Copies of this chain bind each other. A is one copy, B any other.
Amino acid sequence: MAREAWGRWGAEDEAGAPNLAGPAEVLRAASLVRTGRVVPLAQTLHAAMPVPGHRAGMSHFMGRDGGDYAAGAKRPGGFQFAEDTVVLPLHSGTHVDALCHAWCDDLMYNGFPGSAVRSTTGAQRLGVEKLPPLVTRGILLDLAQDGPLADGTPVGRAMLEAAAARAGVVPEPGDAVLLRTGWLEAQEGRPRRLISFDAEPGLDEEGAVWLAGAGVALVGADNYAIEVLPFPPGQVFPVHQRLLRDHGIPLLEGMQLKPLAEAGATAFLFVAAALPIKGATGSPLTPVAVL
């Protein structure tokens, strides 16, 4: 009932469920391309993005810019350039949670100790750089076809099955399953300080286990934390624990799924490649759907 995927790909495995998206799944996914339309699935990253109260936003600093030339900076050989630096909390915007992001009982996915994640080294095990780029079939389960789900709505097996039926798809091994709850769209235009990160519609444990049982390689959603908030009484991030730790399934949070839904996409070539930051617990990225 727990630790279902531990040992499945060997005692040293640090990739988890993305192992299920092998060459055959890549070929299947490539064959789904019909129109050649590319749909980016990421939010824009910027300093004014809403963030939960316990987290800092990103900062973006220009080290050199056009203003410097306007102010008289030299341009050797005529060359002018600009460059910049970000201070970037890695769970910002649209991002993947690496398998070292969450755990319990001091043990992470595949039995690696939580103590392998340290200030001095980052994650010595299960860092985001251990996740291979994912190229596989993506399926969109649209739960918001009638408008955003209400905050606190748990998305369980029945809702997932109904959405899959509407889409005419069935989750299969190696799939990237993308859940549209409408949460992100519902925040649009709201003043930043009025956006709550305490409640959202999202996956419940039953739904999570059902997806894991289908062999999915990744679960993504357009909400803040994949799973329903508030948590069931006495539990804290149960879906994170079940999917990341027990099933080795990375989570892709904060996706922009409205354009995909509006395009009527249901099954498509999906590509998601994190920044290979050594020892990191996550990474912003731009997943793409190719229709």
Contact residues of A with B, CB < 8 Å?
22-27, 30, 33, 35-38, 40, 42-47, 55-57, 59-73, 75-91, 100-106, 113-120, 122-123, 129, 132-133, 135, 193, 231, 234-238, 240-241, 269, 271, 273-282, 284-288, 290
Among B120, B135, B273, B278, contact of A45 (Cβ-Cβ < 8 Å)? B278
Each complex incorporates copies of this chain amounting to 4
17 sampled A-B residue pairs with Cβ under 8 A: A30-B269, A60-B279, A61-B62, A61-B85, A63-B89, A66-B106, A70-B70, A71-B115, A71-B118, A78-B104, A79-B102, A80-B103, A81-B101, A81-B237, A83-B282, A84-B280, A135-B290
CA distance A77 to B271 in the complex (A): 34
* Least CB distance, A180 to chain B, in whole angstroms: 19
Among B27, B36, B193, contact of A24 (Cβ-Cβ < 8 Å)? B36
* Least CB distance, A72 to chain B, in whole angstroms: 6
The answer to whether A119 touches B79 (Cβ under 8 A) is no
The answer to whether A113 touches B236 (Cβ under 8 A) is no
The answer to whether A79 touches B46 (Cβ under 8 A) is no
Interface centre among A75, A122, A273 (most CB of B within 10 A): A273
